[in-house]
């Protein structure tokens, strides 16, 4: 009987390690979102600036500039939407893993002070994922405006 209890404890420890590894993995995904955001912002800003400079110098026509800027807005919107969905998936996965962690600790009767996550406004506002989603939402609106009305950008150069 003692051997069965020892095996159960080992399995619980391994499961706990697995859950903690998954939570760390989710943190890595979140951190890489900032990198993707930074690189895509640099790329789109450089592209739009290049198009506007070419338009000012008369190297391209207004229609071409509008098409290029609208394309940049569309590509930005797709990237930003992907990052928003990824951030939401990270949040929901973290909540699931945290609940699973607490249930496992309760099952093996180990009290280390971990509680099931409670979603409240103050707690959600402390998460960096929330701030990222707010920033991405603002950027998505701007990208969609640029996509739908590229003339707003090109009219500033004329």
Q: What is the DSSP string of 37-98?
A: HHHHHHHHHHHHHHHHHHHHTTSS-HHHHHHHHHHHHHHHHHHHHHHHHHHHHHHHHHHHHH
- Total structural domains in the chain? 1
Higher pLDDT, 41 or 11: 41
Q: Which helix (H) or strand (E) holds 110?
A: none
Place of tokens 């002070």: 113
Percent of the chain predicted with pLDDT > 70: 96
In the predicted structure, residue 6 carries a pLDDT above the cut 80: no
Q: Which helix (H) or strand (E) holds 124?
A: helix 121-125
Q: Which helix (H) or strand (E) holds 121?
A: helix 121-125
Which range, of 60-64, 120-124, 132-136, 154-158, averages the lowest pLDDT? 154-158
pLDDT value of residue 109 = 76
pLDDT digits (tens, 9 = 90+) for 72-99: 999 999 999 999 999 999 999 989 988 8
> Model's pTM, two decimal places?
0.81
* Mean of per-residue pLDDT scores for the chain: 87
Place of tokens 């000012």: 56
Contact 138, 84 (CB under 8 A): no
Domain that holds residue 141: 2-154
What is the Cα–Cα distance from 124 to 94, expressed in whole angstroms? 13
Kindly report the length of the chain. 158
Which residue in 5, 19, 22, 26 sits closest to 104, CA to CA? 19
pLDDT digits (tens, 9 = 90+) for 14-45: 888 888 888 888 888 878 888 888 898 999 99
């Amino acid at each position: 009987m003692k051997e069965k209890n020892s095996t159960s404890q080992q399995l619980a420890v391994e499961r706990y390690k697995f859950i903690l590894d998954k939570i760390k993995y989710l943190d890595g995904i979140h951190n890489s979102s900032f990198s993707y955001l930074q690189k895509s912002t640099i790329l789109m800003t450089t592209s739009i600036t290049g198009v506007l400079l070419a338009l000012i110098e008369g190297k391209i026509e207004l229609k071409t500039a509008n098409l290029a800027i609208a394309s940049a807005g569309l590509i930005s919107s797709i990237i930003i939407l992907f990052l928003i969905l990824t951030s939401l998936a990270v949040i929901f996965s973290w909540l699931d893993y945290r609940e699973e962690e607490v249930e496992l600790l309760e099952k093996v009767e180990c009290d280390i002070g971990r509680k099931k996550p409670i979603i409240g406004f103050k707690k959600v506002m402390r998460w960096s994922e929330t701030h990222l989603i707010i920033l991405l939402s603002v950027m998505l609106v701007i990208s969609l405006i640029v996509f739908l009305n590229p003339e707003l950008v090109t009219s500033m150069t004329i």
